[in-house]
Amino acid sequence: MSGHSKWKTIQHKKGAADAKRGKIFSKFSKELMILAKQGGSNADSNIALRTMITKARQNNMPMDNIERAIKKGAGELGGASLEEVVYEGFASGGVALVIVALTDNKKRAAAEIRHIFTRYGSNFATQGSVTRGFKRKGQILVDAGAASEDKLMEIVLDAGAEDMHLDEDQFEIITEPPAYLKVVEALEKAGIPSTSSEITLVPDVYVSLNDKSKASSALKFVGDLEDNDDVQNVYTNMDISDEVLKELEKE
C-alpha cells in the first residue's frame, strides 16, 4: 500500500505513545501556539489548528489549556515566540531521522539535539537530504473491532481517503493532507473512534532492523530525541520485526 507508517505501530507496541502526560501537554501547547500564530485563532478557518485541537482532545488535554495556548499564539496573552526548526540525520543501520522542533532559542535547540546525535555517533545531515524521502500524509488509526472493514472502507473512501490497511488489530487510514479533516469528520459522524489521528511524515522506503543491537540503539536514539523539551516530533523509516521487539521488551 502507499505510505503505511510502521513507526507508528512500533511506537504503540513499545508504549512510546504513553509518555508522561505533562510532557505531552507541553508539546501540544507549543504546536497550538505556533499554528494560531501562523493561521489565526479561529479553528473554523484554520484547518491545521482544528486538527491539532482534535488531537489534543483525543489525548485528554483540558480545554482550558488548549484555549490558553491558542490565545498565547495569537498574541492575546504574553508568551515566548516559538519557531519551527527541522533537523535531519541517520541512526544506526542507516535509519533516517527527521526531527521537528519548536523552540524559543534556536541555538540552544541545535546544540542540545546535536549533542544527542554525537552521543550516538552521528551528525546532522544536509538539509533536505533526508526529508526528500518522506511525504506528508494524514494518518488515522482505528481499532479493528470498532467497525467492519467493508463499512469503514466505504466511509473513508467516500470522504476522500487514499488507502486503508489492516495491520494486526487496527486499521490504518492514509489520506492526502487536504482530505484529512473530511475523513476525520466522516468517522466522527459515523460514531467510529480513532486511537490516533495526525498529519505526519511517511517514508517512501523502510529500513528493516533485524539485528537486536542496532534496533535497540535506534530506539534509544529516538527516545532521547523525543525527551528533549524542544522536540515536537521525530519521524523515522525504521521497521522492527515483532520478534525483535519482543526480545527488547524482555531486557
Intra-chain end-to-end CA distance of the chain, in Å? 33
* Per-residue confidence (pLDDT) for residue 12, from 0 to 100: 56
Asked if residue 4 has pLDDT above 50, the reply is no
Range 134-203: architecture per CATH: 2-Layer Sandwich (3.30)
Superfamily of domain 84-132+205-246: YebC, transcriptional regulation domain (3.30.70.980)
Cβ atoms 51, 38 nearer than 8 A: no
Average pLDDT over residues 116-136: 95
Domain ranges across the chain = 6-73, 84-132+205-246, 134-203
* Per-residue confidence (pLDDT) for residue 149, from 0 to 100: 94
Q: Do domains 84-132+205-246 and 134-203 have the same CATH topology?
A: yes
Average pLDDT over residues 58-74: 89
Asked if residue 8 has pLDDT above 70, the reply is no
Distance CA 10, CA 212 (A): 14
Cβ atoms 51, 184 nearer than 8 A: yes
Cβ atoms 36, 70 nearer than 8 A: yes
Asked if residue 30 has pLDDT above 90, the reply is no
- What is the widest separation between alpha-carbon atoms in the chain? 51
* Per-residue confidence (pLDDT) for residue 60, from 0 to 100: 86
Average pLDDT over residues 44-66: 86
* Per-residue confidence (pLDDT) for residue 2, from 0 to 100: 36
- Fold for 6-73, please state it: Arc Repressor Mutant, subunit A (1.10.10)
Rg (CA), the chain: 18
Asked if residue 152 has pLDDT above 80, the reply is yes
How does pLDDT run across 155-213, given as a tens digit for each residue? 999 999 999 988 778 899 999 999 998 998 899 899 998 888 888 898 999 998 888 88
**Sign of the CA dihedral with 195 first, then 200, 203, and 204 last:** positive
Cβ atoms 152, 192 nearer than 8 A: yes
* Per-residue confidence (pLDDT) for residue 74, from 0 to 100: 85
* Per-residue confidence (pLDDT) for residue 188, from 0 to 100: 87
